[in-house]
Structure 1
């Protein structure tokens, strides 16, 4: 079932809601949408989970306002969804940029309604290096992506899709991922790249006080594995599960192993 939730006046997010039972709120990465979780949403309801997949503002079928693409605003949108749907005991999942957004949610809103956090190939604690953080994608490279978003967005989406996988996948699967990127708006893609480039989530991590699992591909070319190590260090009691032969798209690149692991850690 699909419907819209108003998160602020004049802005609605699209939500795909499947199954009944324990709620799992699933947040996609850049520049994808809720469809990236198709092979999890097709499985988890059989085990008593309600899969709530949301399109962030500017992506997928959600509204695309001109401004407000900071992590704070995206986290506030998640709060509006959780409150509107009256969700409690939520298992919150975030992939890539979505991982950064859910981390900001946990700190900014003190984890309201959430009892478990799962980070997948997360763009945390920083996506770009700084003077005291050597890991990540150089700022100059992100600037190039922003420029390309305004000059050749189709090639940007296509090229990014090539970085997601460490294992062979069908051309049809690559086309499907590419089409998700095409469904986003140019300004949402660019403005969230600014957020990826400039945000530092290290101060957010100590505020996470629910059981947290970090699932990350060792062959990730987008959010290199050392980011997962640093994230794990910053979240007390968190568990890091490496996927030895997976790239960034761990939700598909290691599909059988990933789904089995996800079922085993959901509490």
Structure 2
């Protein structure tokens, strides 16, 4: 079942809500530049196992509205709070992939983890996607600068090139095209705006220290987007966290090793 939830005047986000009678609720925050459809293979598995699966298309992406503003982590975490309030969600597991992971971290600090009983960070873009003078573990700043530049010049080319590093295992041509189309669903301005947010000093280092719920950190060792050392920093900064390496995965570990990922998530949810 899909519907829209108003998060701001004239801004509505699309929510996919499967198996509303499920025993355990899992909320998914997708990464850039896709949508909640990226979690299709988690919805398939977890719903069959009795979970309620809620996927949110962040503003600017998927089927959600695409305003010119609101692509900072504060606003995006506020959007999540609106969804949580509207659906009256309690004791749910929050899963954030890539930029969705950064938003999840900000939600845990800014909204005190309201309603969240467990957290899963999946190839999360935290505490910083890029290298900084005090943080040598991310990708180079000029990589992001080039993504922004290419978004404004030739977005299809940029998206196709990004797809080449998203997966570690070879995917079929139809699957590659499907992934590309998910990127096309986003607006050009929102695609660039999120990339600009990666460059800001978002202070997720402090946010992580405020996370108190059990946290599962999952990360592919071959990730070329959010490098594996980010996961080690997350594990260091978050108390009560557990890190699971995915030895045969890149950035899309939920697809590269989807069976292992699905099992680990379900076990964590049911612990």
Which of the residues 212, 222, 229 maps onto 2:225? 222
2:166 is paired with a residue whose SS is coil
Displacement after TM superposition at 1:43 (Å): 1.3
- Counterpart Cα distance in 2 of 1:237 and 1:210: 7
Distance 1:144 1:31 in 2: 15
Cα distance in 2 for residues equivalent to 1:173 and 1:258: 19
Q: What does 1:119-138 align with in structure 2 at a 5 Å threshold?
A: 119-138=121-140
Q: Which moved more, 1:38-47 or 1:90-99?
A: 38-47
Q: Which runs of 5+ in 1 are unaligned?
A: none
TM-score, with normalisation over the residues of structure 2? 0.97
Q: What whole-Å deviation, never above 9, does each CA across 1:41-93 have from its counterpart, x for those lacking one?
A: 01111222100000000000000011111000000000000001110011100
User: Post-superposition shift, 1:172?
Assistant: 1.1
| Structure 2 spans left out of the alignment, 5+ residues | none
Q: CA RMSD in A?
A: 0.8
Residue in structure 2 matched with residue 139 of structure 1 by the alignment: 141
1:211 pairs, out of 208, 211, 214, with 214
SS in 1 for 2:4: strand
User: Residue 110 of structure 1 corresponds to which residue in structure 2?
Assistant: 112
Which runs of structure 2 are paired with 1:93-108 in the superposition (5 Å)? 93-108=95-110
Q: Aligned partners of 1:86, 1:260: CA distance in 2, in Å?
A: 27
Aligned mates of 1:175, 1:99 — CA distance in 2: 25
Offset at 1:184?
0.3
Q: Deviations over 1:115-168 (max 9, x none)?
A: 000010000110111111101111121111111111100011111111111112
Distance (whole Å) between structure 2 residues aligned to residue 79 and residue 135 of structure 1? 30
- Output aligned runs, 1:237-252, within 5 Å: 237-252=240-255
SS in 2 for 1:266: helix
State the TM-score, normalizing by the size of structure 1. 0.98
Does residue 236 (structure 1) correspond to residue 239 (structure 2)? The answer is yes
Structure 1 position 28, deviation (Å): 0.3
SS in 2 for 1:155: helix
How far off its partner does 1:200 sit?
A: 3.4
